[in-house]
Each structure stands twice: as C-alpha cells, then as structure tokens.
Structure 1
Amino acid sequence: MRRGGSPATAFRVTLLVLCSVLSVLSDERTFAALPIALLAAFAFASERVAPVRRHPVLAAIAEALFIGATVAVTGGAQSPMLPYLLAPGLAMGLSGTWRQVVVTTVAAAAGLLGGRAIQELRDETPRFFAGDDFAVTAGQWVLLGLAFGLIAGWAQRLVVQESPDIADRYGEARRLLEQLRGVTRRLPGGLDVSSSADALLERCAEVAPYNRAAVLVRPGNGALVPAAVRGTQRVPWRAPLSEPGPLQRAWDSREPLVDRRKPDTHGRRQGSSLAVLPLATGDEPFGLLILEAYDEAAFDRVALELLRQEAVEGALRLETALLFDEVRSTVTVEERDRLARDMHDGVAQELAFVGYQLDDLRIRASKVDAGLAESMSEVRKGLTSLISDIRLSITDLKTSISNDRGLGAAITGYLRAVGSGQQVVVHVSLKESTFRLAGDQEVLLFQIAQVVAQDVRRSGQARNLWVTLDVDPPSARLVVEHDGGDGAVDQLHLNDYAEHLTRLGGELRVRLRQDGGIRVEAVLEGGHGGDQRPAGR
C-alpha cells in the first residue's frame, strides 16, 4: 500500500479552511470550532505520528465516522462541515485500493446516520429524517466523496505506472539481470560476439560453400568491426558505410543480394559470387553477413533463401551479444570515471596541499638550517613524483576505448599525457583501416602501449619513444620501443598480456634494442589464412 502523504494532507487543510469560513458565516460557528480543531490535529497526526501513519485505513475509517457524526449534529443539511466529507475518500484513493475507498464511504454514511439518529432521539418530537433536506444533501456529498476517491485512485495508478520510483526501477533491473543470468547459462554459445559470429559462419558453410567470409557488426554508432573472418586475414571488401559497392547497396536496401563477376578473358581475375545479407532485428541493420565463392554460379535462389534464414536466426543472437557487451562496457567506463574522479578530488588534492605546506616549511628551514632545507627539498621532489604518478594513473582511467574513440586516438592521447613535462621525443606512425578491431583486442593493445610508455616515464633515461600501429582488421601490429638504457626483457612484466594475446590468436615479442632500450611487438593474425587479395568490390 502506498501512503498518500502530502497531497492528502494539503487537501484536508484546504477543506478545513473552507469549513472554517462557512462556520463563521453560519449560526453553528461556536459548535463547529471544536470539530475543526480536532480534524486539524488529525491532519497533523496523519503526517507526523507514527501509529497513525502505520494504520492509514483504520485512521481514515475513524475520520469518516467522526466527520459523518459531526455533520449530523452541526446543522445537518446546513452544516458548515459538509465539504469535509470529501477528505476520507480522497485520502484512501491516494493511499489504498478502491475497496478501501468504498469502506471509507460506508463509514462516513454510518457516521451520518448515527449522528442524525442521536440528534432525533434528543428532540422532543422526532421527525426521523422527514421535513428537511438532510438525506438528499448528505447523500450527495457522500457520493461525491466516493467519486473523488475512485478518481484519485485511478490517477494515482496512472502516475505510478508512468513514473515508477527508484526502488521499483532497481527491483525491475534486478529481476531482468536474474533472468539474463539464467538464460545465458542455457545458451549454447553464451553471449560472446565472436563465438556467435563464428557459429553463424559455420552454419552458413553447411548451407552454401564459400572461400572467404566475414561477419561485420557495428557496436553503437561506431565503425564496423569484423566479429569473425574466414579464408582471409583482413577484410578485403570495401567499407559499406563510406564506399560504394554491393556491401553498401545491401546495407542501404536492407535486402540480401548476390553480386556476380565473370572471369577476365585475358586477365588473372577468376569468376566469383559475393552474397551480402544485412543483419537486423528491427528497421535498422547492425551488421552484414558476407560470403564470397570463386564460382560465378554459386549462391542460387534456394541457397540465398537458406542463407537468409540463417542470417535472421543469427542476427538475434548477435544483437543480444552486442547489447550485453555494450552494457558491460558502459559499466566499466562509468566505474573508471568514478575512480578517476575520486582520486582527483581526494588523494591528489590532499597531496598537492601537503606539497604546498612542505614548500612553506622548506623556505622557513632555509633561514635556520641549510641541511634541513636540503633534506626537505628531496622529500618535496619525491612527493612531486608521486603526485605526477597519481595524475598519470588518473589519465589511465580516463583514457579508454569507446565507440567514438578508436585505438589510434586513444594511444595518441595517452602518449601526449605521458610526454608532458618529459624530455622525450615521441614518434608515432598510425595506419588504420576504416574497419575496427574487436573491443577486447583494442583494449589489450592499448594496455600494452600503456605499460611501455609508463616504463619510459619511470626510468627517466629514454630520449625517444617510437610507436607504430598498423590496423587492418581482423589483423593488427603494434610496435612500441624506447632507448631508455640497459634493461631486462622481463622488466615490464608482460606475461599476463602475452597469455591474453595468445588466447586471442596473437603473439607478443619482447627484446632488447642493440643501442639500448627495449622493443615490444604485439601481432594479431586474424582469420584463418587463405586469399589476402583485395576483392575490388
């Protein structure tokens, strides 16, 4: 049950003011003053007194009985308290059910009848409701109170349905997450985008043989990402979002198509067929299923229909996995932002204040003891270095991969922050495709670049930092090296990153440079071998 609260109390106060005005204008003003005072006390108790708040139904029934009897003994049809008959029903409409509104209305009618019966028995010549308008007037006000209560309850339910409170929203989120956990455990491929895309290509191979294939998906509103590639280590087709071709036509038309090419008469190009099927669960596509066979007669009408059915089934799985991945990424980014904000507003600010205090003490100490001042200067340098490391950690948390921020932009922004205030020349070479790597691959490569850049900052010996990034999804190559003195191969502690890269089908190579420093190379070889030639379409 929901408590009416302030709206019901405001309505009670308004009616009491109206009844007070009417009592001043009537002949019953002296006798009506006491009921008005008691009802005002009840209005206060309904908001402030715990026992009354814990039992709103009993309180409303008692209020209805009291106001019904009060109306009967303060003038009947001419009573100044008649408008207050609307209050109990409306209070129950805001806080209870329609049945409780009816019970409260019946209680008000019982109070009217009881009060009038007592009034009749006190008269020397009882009239038993004859000769005046009491029954009609009181009945009208009682029915009006019932209508007010029912309308208030209906409006309250509409408001609750349209604007659920925070507790209801969290409860609904919890129930949905519990359902998601149960459903995920029963899914054959879970909610992994790559696994779902590989399974789709596997099913398509059983329907129609192909030589090269890929599943391209678009997380959010960003660039297309190859979720799975077979028969090639790069995406050989033109980007459908920016370059004309069969991929763009399928994307724009939302219809599957087959593009056939005959072999060159005197050239090297052999005949081929390209089937492109949009992946969509609504009006807008979120990806493409692309199959290429070196046979110009491949993908006939029957095969295309079977592929379309596989694409429809696979689209639901893929979009569900993408939604789950988006939720997970959003939570991660929000948590990183919160940690960065807390570190900046907390420990970083406190340490900066301690640094100012040390500067003041150092100046004072220099006038008394030069040795003490020198020692304090060393402490201040250490504190400055610590603050710088904390600020770099804050930059680590704020700099992340997102739908609108790719790997190259993230690395460039981070290197700019690392090189700030350092005597290091940063050399950056970026070559990125119009396609993007999968999110976990981009994050891993970015973290490897972070580790090497942090080593440059900590050592303070490097004068040059070279970063080379070549991205041609699903393949990529990242090389980060510096000339920071004689180090050890294992000084960067990259074992965990190497294992993760191996699980993604890549390799991490770490070696020392001949002229000092260290070289780290991360290579991702996507796809499964095959033809690397561009498709030309």
Structure 2
Amino acid sequence: MNGRSTRQYAFLAATTRLFALIALITASVLAKDSAAALTMVSIGCVWLAATAAERMPIPRLVAIPIEAALVGVACALAVPDTLQVLAALTFPPFTAGLRRGTRGAVVSLACELLALSLVSMVSYGTMSAEASRTTLTWVIFSAGLGLIGGFIHATYREPIDPLDSYRDAQALIRELIGLSDGLSRGLEPVTISAGIANAVHDELPVRGLVVHVPRFEQLTPIINDHGGSAEQQAAAEDMAARAFHQGVLLIDESAFALPLSSGAGTVAVVSGFLSPGLDPVALGLSRTLGELAERLEPEVVHLDTALLFAAFRDAATAEERRRLAREMHDGVAQEMASLGYLVDDMMAEATSPEQALRLQVLRERLSSVVGEVRQSVRTLRTSVGENESLGQAIGSLARHLSSTSGVPIQVTLDESTQRLRPEVEAELMRIAQEAMNNAVRHAEPSVIEVQCTVAPPRAEIVVSDDGHGVRGRREDSHGLEIMAERARLIEGDLSVDAREPRGTVVSVTVGGPRTERQGRHNAANQAPRQNPSGSGRVLQR
C-alpha cells in the first residue's frame, strides 16, 4: 500500500470512529445511561490515540491488537451496569479490515473478544444470559463489518508493484500467443468477412452484397461488391443500420439485411439485393437467411475475435505512442534545448570570429534537431478521433506541417459519409504523415499534393511532390519500411514511384485494385499547382 492509500484509509477509519462515538454517546445521554456515557468517553480516548498512532511510524500489527483489546476491556468493565456499550465492539474490526484486510479484521475481533472474556471472568465471573445474547449479537455484527472493511481494502487498494499491470498483460499475451496456434482462420477481419460473403453468394442468387461491421455506434462496410444504384446502396445501408440496432432480420421486397451475432451482441450485418426477377417468397428468403445465420456462427465468432484483436492492438500501440511522446518531450527535447542555451552562452564569450561562426552552425543544427524531435512528438500523439474523419485528420496534419516547414501542402478530399474501420484509418493517416514528413525533410519540394479518396471499404491516399525524386536508401532511414509494414497490417498496397519530370509519388490503397491507383498516379504526375501563400489548404469536393 502506498502513501496515498494509507492516508485515504486513515481518513475513513477516523471518520468511522468519530461518527460511531457521536452516535453512541448521544444514545447514552438520551437514555440517561451515565455508565454507558462514561465508558464511551474512555473508548473515545482509545480511538483518539489509535487515530494519532496511524499517523506515526507504528506497525499496524501492533496498533490494531492494542486498540481492540482496550475496547474489549472497557466494554467488559461496563457490562454489569449497561449493555449499550457493547455496540462499540463492531468498529475496531471494521477499521482494522480497512487497513490490513480480512486478516486485520480477524486479529482485531479475536483480541477484543479475548480481552472481553478474560476481564469478565476476573471481575465478576460469568456473564448473565442477557449479556451473553447481546454480546453474541454484536460480535456477529462486528464480524460482518470486518469482512466489509476487508473487501474495501482488497477492492480499492492501489497495486504495491507498479509493474503488476504489465505482468498481468504479459500472462494474457502469452496465453493469446499459445491460443493463436489453434486459430485456423487467422485474425484478419477482411479475410474472414470475405469468407462470410462467399457463403452468402453460394447460398443465394444475390446481385450485390455488403458486409458491415460496427464502428462505435455506426456501421462501416468491410466487404462491398454491391452492384446496385446509389439509391439502392443508400437503402441497403439504412436497412443494415436498422437491422444492427434492432438485432432482427429485415426483408423489404428483394432487399435484405441479416444481423450476425456471436452471443455477445451483433458482430456484423450482411445486406444485399436478390437478382432481378426472383420472388423472395418463392425462394424462401426468410427461412434460408435464418438457416444461413446459424451455419455462419463459427465464422461470426472468428470475425468477432479478429475485430477485438484489432481493437486491442490499436489501444496498445496508442498508449505506447503516448508514452514515447512523453519521454521524448520531457527527456530528449528538454536536454537538447538546454544544450542550445549553453551554446548561446559560449557564443557570447567567443574569442574569435571563426569560433563564433562554428558555434552559430552548432546552434542552428541543435535548433533543427529539436524541431524534428518536437515534430516526432506531435506525430506520435496524433490520431484519428471518433468525430474527425480521416481526410480531416490528414488536412490538420498538412496545415501544421506546412506552417512549420514553409512548404505549401495542398490536400484534396473525396470522402464518403461512411467511415473506415478505426485501425485502417489510423494506419492510413500515419502512412500519409510519414510520406509528407519525408518529402519536407529530404526532397526540398516547392509544393506537396495529397489526394485522399475514401469510399469504404476502399480508400486511397496519394502524396506527390516535385522535389529531388527517389534516391538511394539511407542507412539511418526506415521510413519506407515502416510505411510498407503499416500497409501490410491493413492488407493495403503501397508503392513509391518517380514523378515526371521530377519528384516522387507515394500511394497506398486498401480494398481496391491497383488499376484505379495507377489512374491517380497519372493525374498526380501533372505539373503541380502553385500556392503563393505558402500555407497548407484543404480542397474538398
């Protein structure tokens, strides 16, 4: 138990004793029981000493038995004259349970009972039947309060070892790794969803099919081969949303929306249209979909597991990024800034122009490195929010980078109202961020253009510049490898190509064929538009 917990439990114990003392003395005065009132005053002195002892370096296993024994002695001496004071027996086990758990409560209860019994036998022999019944009642009550105090101690105490949570995580992750050997389908949501879509296609003559998965309170397509018109797609999305929230199969003429559940809620919704000319009643659409939902239960469990794993991975990496950002900001950045101040002092005391020039170069280099570290801190802390779309997050990054670097960054957005899965948005945003940072740092461009197209489950981001173009890989640079790894995590397609007449085009696509991306590459290879203001701007269509 740390210092904060100790103060909290000491405050709660002191408050308990104070109100218990006020209540028992008030009851004694109202009953005109002078013996009980005097006994409670003496017990109050014991509790006052116990409260003071809790603020001193006195072992709790010494203070707890002494307090309990003194309360037992005081109650035993007062029993021949009054039974009302026996209620005081209930509070030492409760306060001991707060501070030492169930073991402390048991020790306190045993000590006060032992003191009560010994003093009673020495003073007046055996207790009367009424005194024995009253004592038994309050002992049972004190045992219950002691258990409550022990429960509070066990539930709300802070961990003794700050690494306890990491050790628990280690055990769970090792267990997950062991279980992963038995996962025949892997943990990739897109692959599992494609299997569900294929099963529906094999069972029903559908013209178009969409597999939706939850994203917060909304749905996002993870598989989309819908062949209908825009109006039909909108109707299918609306029906899927209603099926998700109601948890029931919906059929409207040839359209349907089938919620798939794993037992812990709706995991996905499959929506689509039957091929033209088919009669849903004659086809037995409702019965067929119901049977299909039962057969797909194993695949739904696989999909739910994959989505949970993706959410866990994102949460873990987000916390690690925040931790690294804090360490970089509070450690490396601060230390380097301090070195800059030291160089300033040395420049003021330079003994020759040559020395001053060298110190000036060193100061500029330090300022540049500090700026890069702070930019990296911002990169680590940035994420796509629940209410901010992927394009808006990229536009915000572009504006900030343009304002700090002076390089114009033009962002063109073409976004659907639907959202990609959170892990896909996060990886795409960081790929775009890395591509823009690389262009600013290494290419010396006059302008950077970013195109962001989102139509879930498809999305494409193209970052092009008119800088130096593709060069050999530096030994200390891992940016391309990191971007490629991020693309692989979301089953994306990353390419880095030369731009004519000069420059580089970085493109990442998810959920769509490469031919679509190549068309955008051709558009990106056109001459860049000039932005005299030098500030980033977002063009949305």
Shift of 1:385: 0.8
Unpaired stretches in structure 2, ≥5 consecutive residues: 516-541
1:47-58 correspondence to structure 2 within 5 Å: 53=61, 56=64
Q: Report the Cα distance in structure 1 between the residues aligned to 2:113 and 2:174, rounded to whole angstroms.
A: 45
Q: Which whole-Å CA distance do the structure 1 matches of 2:209 and 2:122 have between them?
A: 88
Matched, 1:337 2:325: no
Tell me, yes or no, if the aligned pair for 1:489 and 1:511 is still in contact at 8 Å.
no
Q: Deviations over 1:273-294 (max 9, x none)?
A: 4322234679986642124442
Residues 75-474 of structure 1: matches in 2 within 5 Å? 76-77=80-81, 85-94=86-95, 95=97, 96=102, 106-117=113-124, 135=128, 142=135, 145-146=138-139, 149-150=142-143, 152-153=145-146, 155-156=148-149, 164-167=156-159, 186=182, 188-189=184-185, 191-221=187-217, 224-229=219-224, 238-239=233-234, 246-247=239-240, 250-251=243-244, 254-260=247-253, 273-279=254-260, 287-295=268-276, 296-297=278-279, 300-310=285-295, 317-365=302-350, 369-459=352-442, 461-474=444-457
Q: What's the CA shift for 1:31?
A: 13
Equivalent position amino acid for 1:92 in 2: P
Cα 1:495/1:252, change in 2 over 3 Å: closer
Q: What's the secondary structure of 2:81's corresponding residue? A: helix
| Partner residue, 2:525 | none
TM-score normalized with structure 1 length = 0.70
**AA partner of residue 522 (structure 1):** V
8 A contact 1:15–1:84 mirrored in 2: no
1:390 to partner: Cα distance: 0.9
Worse overlay, 135-144 or 286-295: 135-144
Secondary structure of 1:278's counterpart equals: strand
Q: In the TM superposition, what whole-angstrom CA distance separates every residue of 1:145-165 from its partner, at most 9, and x where no partner exists?
A: 43651452465477569x644
Pairwise CA distance, 1:144? 6.5
Amino acid of the residue matched to residue 198 of structure 1?
Answer: A
**Take 1:500 and 1:171, find their aligned partners in 2: how far apart are those partners?**
25
User: 1:28-86, CA deviations, whole angstroms, 9 ceiling, x for partnerless residues?
Assistant: x9999999988876776677576661695x657744664466548xxx527xxx87654
Question: Partner of 1:466: helix, strand, or coil?
Answer: strand
What is the root-mean-square deviation of aligned Cα atoms in Å? Answer: 5.1
Letter in 2 for 1:472: A
1:371-415 CA distances to partner (integer Å, 9 max, x unpaired)?
Answer: 322222211111111111112101211222343333212221222
Map Cα deviations across residues 85-117 of structure 1 (whole Å, 9 max, x no partner): 544442224524898787566535523432324
Amino acid at match of 1:288: V
Native 8 Å contact 1:213 1:291 kept in 2: yes
2:506 alignment partner in structure 1: 520
Identity %: 24
Question: Do the aligned residues in 2 keep the contact of 1:511 with 1:518 (CA within 8 Å)?
Answer: yes
Give the match for residue 121 of structure 1.
none
8 Å Cα contact 1:482-1:518 kept in structure 2 = yes
Change in Cα spacing, 1:41 to 1:380, as seen in structure 2 (3 Å) is closer
Distance 1:311 1:55, change over 3 A: farther
Give the Cα–Cα distance (whole angstroms) in 1 for the partners of residues 39 and 260 of structure 2: 79
8 Å Cα contact 2:260/2:293 also seen in 1: no
SS in 2 for 1:456: helix
> Distance between the aligned counterparts of 1:450 and 1:229, measured in 2?
27
- Whether the 8 Å CA contact 1:275–1:291 is kept in 2: the answer is yes
1:509 match: 495
What is the aligned partner in structure 1 of residue 537 from structure 2? Answer: none
Residue of structure 1 equivalent to 2:530 = none
Q: CA deviation at 1:179?
A: 7.4
Alpha-carbon distance change, 455 to 113 in structure 1, aligned in 2, over 3 angstroms: closer
- Structure of higher RCO (CA pairs closer than 8 Å, 6+ residues apart): 1
Contact 2:67–2:92 under 8 Å retained in 1: yes
CA distance in 2, matches of 1:360, 1:489: 40
Matched residue type, 2:91:
L
Q: CA deviation at 1:228?
A: 2.9
Indicate how the Cα distance of structure 1 residues 456 and 196 shifts in structure 2: closer, same or farther if over 3 A, else same: closer
**Cα distance in structure 2, aligned partners of 1:449 and 1:59:** 68
CA distance in 2, matches of 1:440, 1:383: 36
Query: Aligned equivalents of 1:381 and 1:99: distance in 2?
Result: 68
Number of residue pairs matched by the alignment: 486
Distance in 1 separating the partners of 2:41 and 2:150: 36
Tell me the SS of whatever aligns to 1:404: coil
State the structure with more CA Rg: 1
Quote the Cα distance in structure 2 between the aligned partners of 1:69 and 1:248.
Answer: 71
Q: List alignment gaps of at least 5 residues for structure 1.
A: 118-127, 261-272, 530-537
Deviates more, 1:166-175 or 1:145-154: 166-175
Return the offset for 1:355: 2.8
TM-superposition CA deviations, 1:474-511 (whole Å, max 9, x none):
33332211111354265676256446646755433323
- Secondary structure of the equivalent of 2:495? strand
The letter for the 2-side match of 1:116 is S
Preserved CA contact (<8 Å) 2:465 2:505:
yes
| Matched residue SS, 1:218 | strand
Change (3 A) 1:54 1:211: farther
